[in-house]
Chain A
Amino acid sequence: MEYGAWILDALLLIPLVGGLAVLLRPEAQAKHLALVVAVAEFFLSIPLWWLFDPGTAAMQFEIVHPWIPAWGITYRVGLDGISLFMVLLTTLTMPLAVLGSWSYIKERERAYYALLLVLTTGMLGVFVALDLFVFYVFWEIMLIPMYFIIGVWGGERRLYAAIKFFVYTFVGSLLMLVAILSLYYLVGRATGTHSFDYRHILANIGVADRWAFWLFGAFFLAFAIKVPMFPFHTWLPDAHVEAPTAGSVILAGILLKMGTYGFLRFAVPFFPQVALHPTVVTIVVGLALVGIIYGALVAMVQPDFKKLIAYSSISHLGFVMLGIWALTVASVEGAIIIMVNHGISTGALFFLAGMLYERRHTRAIAEFGGVARVVPAFAAVLTLVALSSIGLPGTNGFIGEFLVLIGSFGTYPWATAVATTGVIFAAAYLLWALQRIIYNKLDKPENEQMQDLSRRELIVLAPLLALILWIGLYPAPFLHRIESSASALVEQVHEERGQMVMVEPVMEGDPR
């Protein structure tokens, strides 16, 4: 059978079956089996890169199965330029996450690796779903494995962090559920076809005009919590810091992207007239800027390295939001590239923080100093990754931020000017942390015995380093694949916005 006709099904099914297999096999085999499954998944997904047709913004590799016909629900999955890289990022991150947990996770390994694999299915499902019901189910289901990964294998305050993570996301997503159902009925009544099909709803979204303000609000809340945008970000530092290393990597690398992906796929194309309403723009761009600056400033004063990385995520995601809302082809491309970059660089940073923790059982920056002399390879990798996170030209970070800033400048010159300072702050907090960890004097005797990177750790980091340089030096193949979808999105939004007159929000929902 042709690759495109089964690949997405296989990508969703393999981790699920693999997870079950891990549960059923003996404890000692768990990590090996999980690694095999995750690596197989990654290699299976690689041909997507070549077979993806960059010339079209249409959905590719589409697969449809009937599910609940009575409600117009079909299992419908597909890929476009926006989701392609999210899927590849996920399949790449998972084997690394498994390998990165190798020595960190020592108890209940079977359950841990099974959950990691199930989580893979959940995350991939969110990125490929083309039916709002399917999207919602994946969006929620993925909470459970993450909840357990934080709550069972996390740090000291893991229970608090786990429940906070769960409840925050749950609050947002339930309102989105109401919005999805409302859309279903609004579109269904107007067209006579009751369906949760993404494109059906997108094509007839005009009928929801009267309620657009409220519907947008519901979607916005769900995604803004996930991103997270200031002021919905408070779950993030807790979850990131308490989660085990692989959990933090996945949270930062993939889960946060679901929020920005949701904006690109649903919130903005569905309700462009609301999204681009001057008030909404002011609020969103304002919050994005606050996130950029606030995240950076708070990161600067963190004594805990992992927390520093966590806050830096808020700052990076602020750039993504700015890029999405600027809605030029360059800024949207930049936003998607930052989403990928952040997964790579921040993922690598979390791995490195975890490696520090495994060696010294502390993450306090003050506990280190001068370790470059003891662990030169570690220091070199950390430096390169930190530079990429700062956005040094020649690394991936530069490409994304540059595109966003260039693309946004025409739309919001002032906001872009402010955002640019975020890059400087990033340099400040990361270089300062770098200085305190690997340079300075080697004044702690405990640090003199640290082991340098093991071969396993190098294998985990090598692909990330390669990507940092590849995207940094030659981003054309990436941009090429994103371009059609990004420009289609921008065109569609501007076109729709041109046709519609902004309507005043109406109060809704009186009891009959």
Chain B
Amino acid sequence: MTPIDLARPGGIALALLPELVLTAWSLVVLLAVAWRHRDQDDQRLVAHLTLVGLLNTLAVVLWFWIDGVESTTVPSMIALDGFRYATSVVFLIGAVLAVLLSLGYLGRERLVVPEYYLLILFATTGMMFMGGGADLIVIFLGLELMSVSVYVLSGVNRRSIFAAEAALKYFLLGAFASGFLLYGIALVYGATGTTNLLLIHIRVTELGLATNLMLVVGIALLLIGFGFKVAAVPFHMWTPDVYDGAPTPVTAFMAAAVKAAGFAALIRVLFQALGPSQDVWVQGVWWLAVITMVVGNLVALAQRKLKRMLAYSSIGHAGYLLAAVSAGTELGAAAFLYYILAYTLMTIGAFAILAFTGQEGERDVAIDDLSGLATRRPWIAFAMAVFMLSLLGFPGTAGFIGKWYILSAVIDVDQVLLAVVLVGASVISAGFYLPVIMVMYMKPARSPDAHKATQLPVLSRWVVGVAAALLLLFGFWPNRVMDVARSGSEELRPSVMLSVSK
């Protein structure tokens, strides 16, 4: 276990090592793009550099995590705890998978935009700050870095008017949401006189500010701001259009990693800084969770296009994650970590298959277009079935263990009604996940040459295969990941710190 003294500049630099490594790699990629941006070969080179950078960062994060790096002084701008490392790992895995998908996808769409990979790197850096920031300002900066990169990413296909619409919509509403967030931060600062998460906790406790009006309004605005970012109902209006219009690998990245980052920041702020006001925000999160689960799943039921269905279903999943947050316990945070890993794998897997089933326009792939996939492409159909069952939360898949974990966290704090709503929403979701399996296996192909062109590039095949295999593995043998999730959620609540400062 290595202690780091955050009072010294050297200590801070060391604490920021993962982010610094990733930033350094971003600069390398930036330079590479400046010189090599003409054709697909250049683009592939950039992609490989990006992968190396991401994996390198992943190694550093794992080293920090396994070594158990922690700080000797409080408070600081950056957290050194399991939660930061765990979320960073999830973001990096999401980014790696997205890059692997994009390699085949950009080639097929004949898009030459090497900056694409650079933006993924920047966005990932932002996410890591969101999961690791110990100060509202750091979290906000991370969020903006991520958001701006993703605005551009969603509009990266300049030939598509839908992509343009998506980018503009996302940008306008995202900016709006950032405004809410910033105002919330300002009010929290106004109430407590600090933006540091630990200090907020201490001030709120010691000065008895738990139900202070300014703080409560600040919390509400923070919830709205984060609600936009994680696509919680009723702040989800941008989601379907943006997910629908953006290039599919970007959609996968947004649905998995961007959402995960929003949640990571939300959990850190609520648990670490606003723990004393738990009674206030649990109410809000509880309602958000209920509405999001019900509306997200109900609207998904009405979708005929696969991509839009997945977009709405990801709203439903945000609801499940909110339920984990509303438990407000370490068990809830652990459930969040487990679920977000499973969710990243299944969402990216499903989008990967989608990206390559519809030639030149996967936006228009209707669920019925998958008819007969099982006879023509049995392995792809099998993987898709695994993803759908996992999204549904069916036993034998990681999605089930994740849902079980969330239910367990929710019931542990006696919110049985929320648990009932959660399972009710899952039942609704059977209405749109099962038809995907149904058409693949039980309906004949629409034409003799349907699915002939459906071919996953080698790398995407790996993404899909590994994701499906991991989902099954974690479904039957979740022990290791559960231990990791639990260790990642420990010390999230600053009880120890508090006694030190007193």
Interface residues, chain A, with chain B CB atoms under 8 Å away: 68-71, 136-137, 140-141, 144, 147-148, 151-152, 158-159, 162-163, 166-167, 170-171, 174-175, 177-178, 181-182, 184-185, 214, 508-512
- With both beta carbons as reference points, the residue of chain B lying nearest to A215 in the complex is identified as B416
Residue of B nearest to A511 (CB): B286
Secondary structure call for the B interface: helix
**How far, in whole Å, are A72 and B395 apart by their CA atoms in the complex?**
17
Top 8 A-B residue pairs of the complex, sorted by shortest distance between their CB atoms: A509-B417, A174-B423, A509-B416, A137-B395, A151-B442, A511-B286, A140-B395, A181-B411
1/0 per position for B415-427, CB-CB distance to A under 8 A? Answer: 1111110011011
A182 lies within 8 A of B416 (CB): yes
A191 to chain B, nearest CB (A): 16
> With A141-B395, A162-B438 given, is the CB distance from A511 to B415 under 8 Å?
yes
Contacts of B441 in A (CB 8 A): 148, 151-152
Give the residue name and chain of the B residue nearest to A510 (CB): B417
Cross-chain contact of A181 among B389, B408, B431, B478 (Cβ < 8 A) = B408
Looking at B283, B404, B407, B408, which has the most chain A CB atoms within 10 Å of its CB? Answer: B404
Q: What string of 1s and 0s marks CB contacts (under 8 Å) between B437-453 and chain A?
A: 01001110000000000
Is the Cβ of B431 less than 8 Å from the Cβ of A174?
no
Contact B389 A144 (CB under 8 A): yes
Interface centre among A159, A166, A174 (most CB of B within 10 A): A174
> Known contacts being A68-B478, A140-B394, A512-B279, is A178 close to B411, with CB within 8 Å?
yes
Residues of B close to A185: CB separation below 8 A:
408, 411-412
Of the candidates B395, B423, B430, the one whose C-beta lies within 8 Å of that of A178 is B423
Whether the pair A151, B394 counts as a contact (CB closer than 8 A) is no
Q: A140-B394, A177-B423, A508-B417 known; 12 other A-B pairs, CB under 8 Å?
A: A70-B482, A136-B395, A144-B389, A151-B438, A151-B442, A170-B427, A177-B404, A510-B417, A511-B282, A511-B283, A511-B418, A512-B283
Q: Is the interface of A mostly helix, strand, loop or mixed?
A: helix
Instruction: Write the residues of chain B forming the contact surface with A, with a CB cutoff of 8 angstroms.
Output: 279, 282-283, 286-287, 389, 394-396, 404, 407-408, 411-420, 423-424, 426-427, 430-431, 434-435, 438, 441-443, 478-479, 482-483, 486
Contacting residue for B411 out of A148, A167, A182, CB 8 A: A182
Q: Which chain A residues border B417 with CB–CB below 8 Å?
A: 508-511
Say whether A141 contacts B479, CB under 8 Å.
no
Contact between B418 and A509 (Cβ–Cβ < 8 Å)? yes
Contact yes or no, A69 B479, CB < 8 A: yes
Residues of B within 8 A of A71 (CB): 408, 482
Q: A178-B411, A178-B423, A509-B418 are in contact. Are A163 and B395 (CB under 8 A)?
A: no
With A511-B282, A512-B282 given, is the CB distance from A178 to B416 under 8 Å?
yes
Contact in complex: A174, B427 (CB < 8 Å): yes
Of chain A, the residue at the smallest CB distance from B486 is A70
B426–chain A nearest beta-carbon distance, Å: 6
Judge whether A141 and B430 touch: CB under 8 Å.
no
Is B442 in contact with A159, judged by CB distance below 8 angstroms?
A: yes
Most chain A CB within a 10 A radius of its CB, from B431, B438, B478: B438
Q: How far is the CA of A359 from the CA of B442 in the complex (A)?
A: 25
- Structural contact, A177 and B407, CB atoms closer than 8 A: yes
